[in-house]
Structure 1
Amino acid sequence: MSADALAEWCMVREQVDWSSAASVRPAPVRPVVDGLAARFDGPVRRRDPDRADGLLTVMTLSRAAASQGEPLTPTLLTGWQQLVLDVNEVRLRQSDAFAKNGRERYGLTSHTWQDFAACLHQSADPSVPLPARAARAYLDVAFFHPYPDGNARLALLVLAHVLETERVGLDEVGPLQTARYADDPDGALDLATLVTVLIRATHRRATAR
């Protein structure tokens, strides 16, 4: 059996110096172009209009939750995931999951979902720079792989939600959606750096008008 990539991620997660990630100015960043909506209404809609509608619905709900300071929880994400997948019911996975053509296996133990809830709670930790919190939450969803399908879509929505809690938006999200690996601490910190770059570029373009 292949190594447990989730266990590897949990170790990497503790090794990464998230506080070393560059921070960003605390002021709101309002993009000229809504990058998340543009992604869903553009490339996603061209492939699957129903999928785009579901993602846009969840995007609206997640922004409302962020504006009200609603914390990320497995229960909240499960409600979102029902809309993402357009199903009446969705449950946290009940067995090991696989990704990357089976090269990564995400194990399941008696404490997996308790650990997941704790990780989501840390997305609101003010001692960690906002870009690092958003990147870490993205990777938590990717590697806990909580649902049988749609985790990559959910990870992007979660990243955007964390940014929105501090009224930060992005005008471009495409660069975020590349393959990430559970055993790669440098890659995890690189994602936080990328989020910082995208925030700063969005702010620069918004203020240059």
Structure 2
Amino acid sequence: MLDKSIPYFNVIMKRPAGAFLPQFALPVGYSFGWYTEGMELQWAAIETSVGEFDSDEESLSYFQKEYLLHSNELKKRLLFVLNPEGEAVGTITGWWNLTGERRDLAIHWFAVHPEYQGAGLGKALVAECIRNLMNLEGDKDIYLHTQTWSYKAIALYLKTGFKIEVKDTFAHYQNDYESALPILQDLLNRKL
């Protein structure tokens, strides 16, 4: 869940090629599932539940505009965690962004429904997404854009080999490292 009570600053993270990837298993009864047609409704509901969008309609509109043109890619890049009843409760996308002429691998839209947070689903989901990207594209640098509001996700990304970038960025994202660092150090209680 986004913590909008703290100042917002952009954070750029990168997982360098060759970084160690720990194993994180899903709890018993949970499973991974790949996107199939119609699951955009579940994606929209999850993203809205964590505060990324104000409504399911807004998140669905975003999804349709940004991703549906690439439905074949979605089927091998958009990953869900399914609860024991088969309902999608978490999502992450292993995608790419263009930085000028350079094609950068990137993590997009990681979220776990608030009712399911704290059970280890997020760590397993991020690690599985990284593994999948490595299988599809090879062991290359992987970027992600996040924000101070997502400091709990930042702590999780650090556990899967991502590092906060001081100056580097990708695509069109701004890097607010200098402003974000004091907030993150305080919230994560660690030297970054």
TM-score (ref. length: structure 1): 0.29
Specify which structure has the higher proportion of strand: 2
Q: Under a length normalisation based on structure 2, what TM-score does the superposition of the two structures give? A: 0.31
